[in-house]
Amino acid sequence: MNDGALAGLKVLEYGDFISAPYCGKLLADLGADVIKVEPPTGDSARQRGPFPKDIPHPEKSGLFLYLNANKRGITLDMKNAAGKKAFYELAKWAEVFIENYTPKEAKKLGIDYKTLHRINPALVVTSITYFGQTGPYSDYKGTDLIGVNMSGEAFANPAYEVYNTDHNPPLKLPGHAGDFLGGLNGAMCAMSAVFMQQATGIGQHVDLSIQEALAAMVCHEVGDYYDADVRYLRNREDRWEHSPKLACKDGYIMMNIPDQFWAPLMDMLGNPEWSKEEKYQTAVGRHFNLRDSQPHVIEWMKHHSVYEVEKLAKEKRLPFSIVRTMKEVAADKLFVERNYYVDVDHKIAGKIRFPGAPCKFSATPGKIRHAAPLLGEHNSEVFEKILGYSPEKLVKMQQAGAI
């Protein structure tokens, strides 16, 4: 029971950068045997940082190392006949295949669902693209920046504190949220298809659109538009309950204060004289006079540190939070006590610390069993042990540029 919940599941991954590799990582961390196929030039994530001391190196990319731990890595040139033949033999071995190329690219590479289904009818093919396998944008390439904006997610971010839309334009989500969301949804949907596969022996095509996954995150705004013709506007009234960020002496506090928290908030502020004015004595009065009360709270915050405010807020059971820096997040005692971060030894990059799994399995916990592969590290192991190739054949394949 220590091999992971997905021990025995055979996965073949031929994807680039983040979305498909993250999908494969989620399965690999739970015990699946994931073979990552890279072109001889390597996954493009190898060229993206962060790098130790900011020195680029294809075996030291923090992004690549995080996304591809627990996988076996091989190289194949899909434009080479011998390389493509070996890939198709691995497709017969696999139960799940993951890719993130546009439909046109996938067909050109020979990794489209129609082709792979003929080779292995039981195979679950998971295609993670920005715009899906059908529709007007299906052959468009996408990026996180494009997907977040086309889905409407950027328009809704920030949702509040936008009092001047000319000076507060829409913002994309930080990092590569769309790519990671695509990988997360891809893993969930792939496993749903695996349940049917195990019950019936039938494979299927999982067609995942990252744009649609992102649009689902703003479903209430889209739903309001369709159901009630409500026009979603970015500019908002000043409302305490919508989490304004307040500047303290040494940082920011995020607060969420519905009217039922008004009394403990004033108690924390020392029940100042202004709060006793008649206009603040009813919920309606407080709502319509927020512009008058906010400056008082803002001024009080400026004279206190974030940790002073946090301590007082906890005592009053107020929904406050410090807006943490990355350094503070890394040192969070919750992560420390739950062993969230894991140290991994890599042959070239050395010891690397990664975020671990956000969930704990009591009987079959996921874990990092080994570091991300070097480029082509497992060629001999995979081709000889799984496909039965001889060492001599591998030498010829290498000489021909197939691996």
Say how many C-beta atoms besides its own lie within 10 A of residue 247's C-beta: 13
pLDDT tens track for 21-74: 999 999 999 999 999 999 999 999 999 999 999 999 999 999 999 999 999 999
Residue 165 CA, distance from chain mean position: 28
pLDDT of residue 163: 57
pLDDT of residue 160: 60
211 with 90, same domain?
Answer: yes
Boundary residue ending a domain (288, 322, 356): 322
62 with 117, same domain?
Answer: yes
pLDDT confidence bin for 224, thresholds 50/70/90: low
318 with 354, same domain?
Answer: no
Boundary residue ending a domain (296, 322, 348): 322
Residue 105 vs residues 102, 108, 110, 119, 179: alpha-carbon distances, Å? 5, 5, 9, 19, 18
Boundary residue ending a domain (294, 322, 350): 322
Full domain range(s) for residue 288 = 252-322
User: Average per-residue pLDDT in the chain?
Assistant: 92
Q: CA-CA distance, 204 to 186, in Å (whole number)?
A: 13
pLDDT tens track for 278-300: 999 999 999 899 889 989 999 99
157 with 210, same domain?
Answer: yes
Asked, for residue 33, whether it belongs to a domain, the answer is: yes
46 with 162, same domain?
Answer: yes
pLDDT of residue 358: 86
Residue 234, pLDDT > 80, answer no
Residue 119, pLDDT > 80, answer yes
Residue 230, pLDDT > 60, answer no
pLDDT of residue 147: 94
102 with 185, same domain?
Answer: yes
pLDDT of residue 1: 46
Asked, for residue 226, whether it belongs to a domain, the answer is: no
pLDDT of residue 357: 87
Question: For the chain, how many structural domains are there in total?
Answer: 2
366 with 263, same domain?
Answer: no
Instruction: Tell me the chain's radius of gyration from C-alpha atoms.
Output: 26
Asked, for residue 259, whether it belongs to a domain, the answer is: yes
pTM: 0.92
Among the ranges given (136-140, 203-207, 238-242), the one the predictor scored with the smallest mean pLDDT:
238-242
pLDDT confidence bin for 397, thresholds 50/70/90: very high
43 with 118, same domain?
Answer: yes
Q: Say if CB 71 and CB 372 are below 8 A apart.
A: yes
318 with 342, same domain?
Answer: no
pLDDT of residue 154: 87
Q: Say if CB 160 and CB 232 are below 8 A apart.
A: no
Query: Rounded to 5 degrees, what are φ and ψ at 57?
Result: -155, 130
pLDDT of residue 162: 60
Mean pLDDT (whole number) for 107-136: 98
* Higher per-residue pLDDT: 351 or 236: 351
CATH classification of the domain holding 360: 3.40.50.10540
267 with 353, same domain?
Answer: no
Q: Tell me, letter by letter, the H, E, C secondary structure of the chain.
A: CCCCCCCCCEEEEECCCCHHHHHHHHHHHCCCEEEEEECCCCCHHHHCCCCHHHCCCCCCCHHHHHHCCCCEEEECCCCCHHHHHHHHHHHHHCCEEEECCCHHHHHHHCCCHHHHHHHCCCCEEEEEECCCCCCCCCCCCCCHHHHHHHCCCCCCCCCCCCCCCCCCCCCCCCCCHHHHHHHHHHHHHHHHHHHHHHHHCCCCEEEEEHHHHHHHHHHHHHHHHHHHCCCCCCCCCCCHHHCCEEECCCCEEEECCCHHHHHHHHHHCCCCHHHHCHHHCCHHHHHHCHHHHHHHHHHHHHCCCHHHHHHHHHHCCCCEEECCCHHHHHCCHHHHHCCCEEEEEECCCEEEEEECCCCCCCCCCCCCCCCCCCCCCCHHHHHHHCCCCCHHHHHHHHHCCCC
Tell me the one-letter amino acid at 9.
Answer: L
306 with 379, same domain?
Answer: no
Asked, for residue 213, whether it belongs to a domain, the answer is: yes
Asked, for residue 231, whether it belongs to a domain, the answer is: no
pLDDT tens track for 61-72: 999 999 999 999
pLDDT of residue 380: 98
CA-based nearest residue to 72, from 379, 395, 391: 379
158 with 271, same domain?
Answer: no
Q: CA-CA distance, 272 to 266, in Å (whole number)?
A: 7
CA-based nearest residue to 32, from 133, 110, 124: 124
Asked, for residue 238, whether it belongs to a domain, the answer is: no
Asked, for residue 224, whether it belongs to a domain, the answer is: no
Asked, for residue 241, whether it belongs to a domain, the answer is: no
